[in-house]
């Protein structure tokens, strides 16, 4: 089973550092950074609006828990977004690449 994981970061510099660490630790096969996301949310009783970077990660079921632990430990936010969605359908070749790229898979 494969997953797409959404994480937001405060800016591109932080997102790049997080992406590098995630990839170096083989916790995800790919991290897309989407700049200019406008987030509206409630935090500590106040309505907030911030510009963030959306990180879109692709990983496996086997690495999902380790990825969450790593993100929660390394992220500068007190309560970072970490939302995972199962990939129900995808190109077999692409999903195989994800599997080979994370965890103890071969170096690509």
Q: Residue 59 is inside which H or E element, if any?
A: strand 46-60
Query: What is the model's pTM?
Result: 0.91
pLDDT at 30 (0 to 100):
97
* Architecture of domain 2-101 in this structure: 2-Layer Sandwich (3.30)
Burial of residue 64 (number of CB atoms within 10 Å: 0-12, 13-18, 19+): buried
The pLDDT score that the predictor gives to residue 103 is 83
Report the DSSP pairing between strands 46-60 and 83-86: unpaired
pLDDT band per the 50, 70, 90 thresholds, residue 3: very high
Q: How far apart are the first and last CA of the chain?
A: 20
Residue 47: pLDDT over 60: yes
How much of the chain, in percent, has pLDDT values that exceed 90?
Answer: 94
* Dihedral-angle region of residue 44 (phi above 0 means left; psi in -120 to 50 means alpha; beta otherwise): left
The answer to whether residue 106 scores a pLDDT higher than 50 is no
Q: How do residues 52-90 score in pLDDT, each as one tens digit?
A: 999 999 999 999 999 999 999 999 999 999 999 999 999
The CA-based angle 100-93-97, given to 5 degrees, is 20
DSSP state of 26: T
pLDDT digits (tens, 9 = 90+) for 5-31: 999 999 999 999 999 999 999 999 999
């Amino acid at each position: 089973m494969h997953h797409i994981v959404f994480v937001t970061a405060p800016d591109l510099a932080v997102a790049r550092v997080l992406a590098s660490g995630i990839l170096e630790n083989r916790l995800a096969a790919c991290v897309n950074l989407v700049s200019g996301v406008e987030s509206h949310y409630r935090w500590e009783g106040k309505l907030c609006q911030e510009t963030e970077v959306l990180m879109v990660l692709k990983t496996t079921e086997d690495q999902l828990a380790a990825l969450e632990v790593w993100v929660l430990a390394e992220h500068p936010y007190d309560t970072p977004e970490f939302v995972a969605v199962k990939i129900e359908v995808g190109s077999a070749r692409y999903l195989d690449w994800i599997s080979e790229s994370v965890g103890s898979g071969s170096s690509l």
